[in-house]
Amino acid sequence: MDKQSEFVLRTIEERDIRFVRLWFTDVLGTLKSVAIAPAELEGAFAEGIGFDGSAIEGFARVYESDMIARPDPSTFSILPWRTEGPGVARLFCDILLPDGSPSYADPRHVLKRSLAKAADLGFTFYTHPEVEFYLFKGMPELGASPVPVDHYGYFDNAPHGIGHDFRRQAITLLEAMGISVEFSHHEGGPGQQEIDLRYADALTTADNLMTFRLVVQEVALEQGLFASFMPKPFRDHPGNGLHTHLSLFEGDRNAFFEPGAEYQLSKIARSFIAGLLVHAPEITAITNQWVNSYKRLAGGAEAPAWICWGHNNRSALIRVPMYKPSKGNSTRIEYRAMDSATNPYLAFAVLLAAGMKGIEESYELPPGSEDDVWALTASERRALGMEPLPASLDQAIALTEKSELVAETLGEHVFDFFLRNKRADWEDYRRQVTPWELERYLPSL
Amino acid sequence: MGAREVPSLTVTSERQSAPAMRLARSGFRDPERAERLLDSEVFAQVHAEMGDHLASALGSCADPDLGLMQLTRLIESGSDPDRRRWVREWAADPDALARLLDIMGLSVALGDFLIRHSEVRTVVIDSEGLTRTPTPEGMRTALLHSVGGDPHDEAPTATLAEDAAMDALRIRYRELLLGVAVRDVTGMASVDIVAEWLSDLADSALEAALAIARSANPHHAASTRLAIIGMGKCGARELNYISDVDVIFVAAAPEGVEESDAVTSATVLAKAVMRICSTATAEGGLWEVDAGLRPEGKQGALVRTLESHLAYYGRWAKTWEFQALLKARFSAGDRALGDAYVDAVSPLIWSAADRDGFVVEVQAMRRRVEENVPAALAEREIKLGPGGLRDIEFSVQLLQLVHGRSDVMLRRPATLSSLEALATWGYVARSDSSSLADAYRFLRTLEHRLQLRHLRRTHVLPEDEDELRVIARSLGFRSDPIAELMAEWRRHAREARRLHEKLFYRPLLQAVARLDAGEARLSLQAAEERMAALGYANPSGALAHLTALTTGVSRRATIQRTLLPVLLGWFADGPDPDAGLLGFRQVSDDLGATPWYLRLLRDESIVAERMAHILSSSRYATDLLLRAPASVQMLAADEELTPRSLESLTIEVDAIATRHDTPEAIVSAIRAMRRKELFRLAVGEILGTTGSADVGRGLTDVATASIDGALRAAWQSVAGDGVHHARIAVIAMGRFGGSELGFASDADVMFVYEVLPDADETEAGKQAFAVANELRALLMTASTDPALEIDADLRPEGKSGPLVRSLDSYQTYYARWSSPWEAQALLRARAVAGDPDLGARFIAMIDPLRYPIEGLAPDALREMRRVKARMESERLPRGADPRLHMKLGPGGLSDVEWVAQLLQLQHAHHIPDLQDTSTLSVLDAAVTHSLLSVQDAATLRSSWLLATSIRNAVMLARGRPSDMVPTDPREAMAVGFILGRGARAGTEMREEYLRVSRRARQVMERVFYGE
Q: What is the pLDDT of residue A9?
A: 87
Of A114-118, A198-202, B513-517, give the lowest mean pLDDT range: B513-517
* Helices and strands: H and E segment counts in chain B: 51, 10
A52 interfacial to chain B (CB closer than 8 Å): no
Please give the angle made by the CA atoms of B75, B76 and B79, to the nearest 5 degrees: 85
Q: What is the pLDDT of residue B712?
A: 92
Q: What is the percent of chain B with per-residue pLDDT over 90, rounded to a whole number?
A: 50
Closest CA to B154 of B242, B214, B69, B70: B214
B315 interfacial to chain A (CB closer than 8 Å): yes
Q: Which of residues 88-107 of A touch B (CB under 8 A)?
A: 97-99, 101, 104
Burial of B150 (0-12, 13-18, 19+ CB in 10 A): middle
Element (H, E) at B754: strand B747-755
Q: What is the percent of chain B with per-residue pLDDT over 70, rounded to a whole number?
A: 95
Provide the shortest C-alpha distance from residue B892 to chain A (in Å). Answer: 15
Residue type, B871: M
Residue B695 near residue B680 (C-beta atoms within 8 A): no
- Beta strands, E only, B481-526: none
Indicate the average pLDDT of chain B: 88
Q: Using only the alpha carbons of chain B, give its radius of gyration.
A: 39
Nearest residue on chain B to A405, alpha-carbon basis: B995
Q: What is the pLDDT of residue A10?
A: 85
Interatomic CA distance for residues B971 and B974, integer angstroms: 5
Q: What is the pLDDT of residue B5?
A: 39
A1 to B317: CB separation less than 8 angstroms, yes or no: yes
Q: What is the pLDDT of residue B16?
A: 61
User: What 3 state SS string does B554-587 have?
Assistant: CHHHHHHHHHHHHHHHHHHHCCCHHHHHHHHHHH
Report the length, in residues, of chain B: 1011
Checking if the pLDDT of B735 tops 90, the result is yes
Residue type, B757: P
Q: Is the dihedral of CA B19, B22, B26, B29 positive or negative?
A: positive
DSSP single-letter state for residue A144: S
Q: Which residue blocks in B223-329 are alpha helix, DSSP H?
A: 232-235, 259-278, 306-315, 319-325
Provide the shortest C-alpha distance from residue B884 to chain A (in Å). Answer: 11
Element (H, E) at A34: strand A31-36
A407 to B316: CB separation less than 8 angstroms, yes or no: no
**B892-920 CB burial, b ≥16 within 10 A, e <16:** bbbbbbbbbbbbbbbbbbebeebbbbbbb
B499-555 pLDDT, tens digit per residue, is: 777 788 877 777 766 555 556 677 888 888 888 888 888 889 999 998 888 887 777
Provide the shortest C-alpha distance from residue A387 to chain B (in Å). Answer: 24
Closest CA to B604 of B565, B635, B569, B638: B635
B1002 interfacial to chain A (CB closer than 8 Å): yes
The string of DSSP codes covering B431-475 is HHHHHHHHHHHHHHHHHHHHHHHHT----B--SSHHHHHHHHHHT
DSSP bridge pairs for A226: A136
Burial of A280 (0-12, 13-18, 19+ CB in 10 A): buried
Nearest residue on chain B to A103, alpha-carbon basis: B987
Interatomic CA distance for residues B139 and B137, integer angstroms: 5
- For B579-585, what is the mean pLDDT? 91
Residue A128 near residue A196 (C-beta atoms within 8 A): yes
Band (A64; pLDDT cuts 50, 70, 90): low
Q: What is the pLDDT of residue B4?
A: 39
A63 to B300: CB separation less than 8 angstroms, yes or no: no
**B778-804 CB burial, b ≥16 within 10 A, e <16:** bbeeebebbebebebebbbeeeeebeb
Q: What is the pLDDT of residue B985?
A: 66
Provide the shortest C-alpha distance from residue A77 to chain B (in Å). Answer: 18
B994 to A412: CB separation less than 8 angstroms, yes or no: yes
> Of A5, A42, A412, which is closest to B998 when you measure between CB atoms?
A412
A229 interfacial to chain B (CB closer than 8 Å): no
Band (B562; pLDDT cuts 50, 70, 90): confident
* Helices and strands: H and E segment counts in chain A: 12, 18
Of A386-390, B422-426, B942-946, give the lowest mean pLDDT range: B422-426
Q: What is the pLDDT of residue A159?
A: 63
Q: Is the ipTM above a cut-off of 0.90?
A: no
Provide the shortest C-alpha distance from residue A3 to chain B (in Å). Answer: 5
A227-259 pLDDT, tens digit per residue, is: 999 999 998 899 999 999 999 998 888 999 988
Non-local (6+) Cβ contacts of B278 within 8 A are B285, B286, B287, B288, B289
Checking if the pLDDT of B982 tops 80, the result is no
Indicate the average pLDDT of chain A: 87
Residues of B in contact with A97 (CB under 8 A): 969, 987
- For B953-976, what is the mean pLDDT? 88
> Of B300, B881, B969, which is closest to A3 when you measure between CB atoms?
B300
A377-412 pLDDT, tens digit per residue, is: 888 888 888 899 999 999 999 999 999 999 999 998
Non-local (6+) Cβ contacts of B893 within 8 A are B886, B887, B944, B947, B948
User: What 3 state SS string does A227-293 have?
Assistant: EECCCCCCCCCCCCEEEEEEEEEECCEECCECCCCHHHECHHHHHHHHHHHHHHHHHHHHHCCCCCH
B883 interfacial to chain A (CB closer than 8 Å): yes
B239-288 pLDDT, tens digit per residue, is: 999 889 999 999 999 999 999 899 999 999 999 999 999 998 888 889 99
pLDDT: which is higher, B399 or B917: B917
- For A37-52, what is the mean pLDDT? 84
B881 interfacial to chain A (CB closer than 8 Å): yes
B883-942 pLDDT, tens digit per residue, is: 899 999 999 999 999 999 999 999 999 999 999 999 999 999 999 999 999 999 999 999
Residues of B in contact with A416 (CB under 8 A): 883, 994, 998
Report the length, in residues, of chain A: 445
Q: What is the pLDDT of residue B3?
A: 40
Band (B558; pLDDT cuts 50, 70, 90): confident
The pairing of beta strand A87-96 with beta strand A17-25: parallel
- Which long-range CB contacts under 8 A does B664-669 form with residues at least 24 apart? B664/B713, B664/B778, B666/B709, B666/B712, B666/B713, B666/B716, B667/B709, B667/B710, B667/B713, B667/B778, B667/B779, B668/B783, B668/B785
> Of B299, B315, B998, which is closest to A407 when you measure between CB atoms?
B998
Q: What is the pLDDT of residue A336?
A: 94
Non-local (6+) Cβ contacts of A429 within 8 A are A291, A393
Band (A84; pLDDT cuts 50, 70, 90): low
Checking if the pLDDT of B374 tops 70, the result is no
Query: By three-state DSSP, how is residue A31 classified?
Result: strand
Checking if the pLDDT of A281 tops 50, the result is yes
> Of B316, B883, B998, which is closest to A1 when you measure between CB atoms?
B316
Size of interface A-B (CB pairs under 8 A): 50
Provide the shortest C-alpha distance from residue B408 to chain A (in Å). Answer: 28
- For B292-297, what is the mean pLDDT? 86
B145-167 pLDDT, tens digit per residue, is: 999 999 999 899 999 999 999 99
Of B160-164, B593-597, B693-697, B927-931, give the lowest mean pLDDT range: B593-597
Checking if the pLDDT of B753 tops 80, the result is yes
Provide the shortest C-alpha distance from residue A73 to chain B (in Å). Answer: 12
Band (B322; pLDDT cuts 50, 70, 90): confident
Highest mean predicted confidence (pLDDT) among A114-118, A368-372, B595-599: A114-118
Q: What phi-psi label fits residue A301: left (phi over 0), alpha (psi between -120 and 50 degrees) or beta? A: left
Neighbours of A258 (CB within 10 A): 18
Non-local (6+) Cβ contacts of B882 within 8 A are B872, B876, B888, B889, B890
Q: Please provide the distance, in angstroms rounded to a whole number, between the alpha carbons at the two ends of chain A.
A: 69
> Of A63, A99, A104, which is closest to B881 when you measure between CB atoms?
A63
Band (B12; pLDDT cuts 50, 70, 90): very low
Q: What is the pLDDT of residue B429?
A: 82
pLDDT: which is higher, B46 or B376: B46
Please give the angle made by the CA atoms of A233, A238 and A240, to the nearest 5 degrees: 65
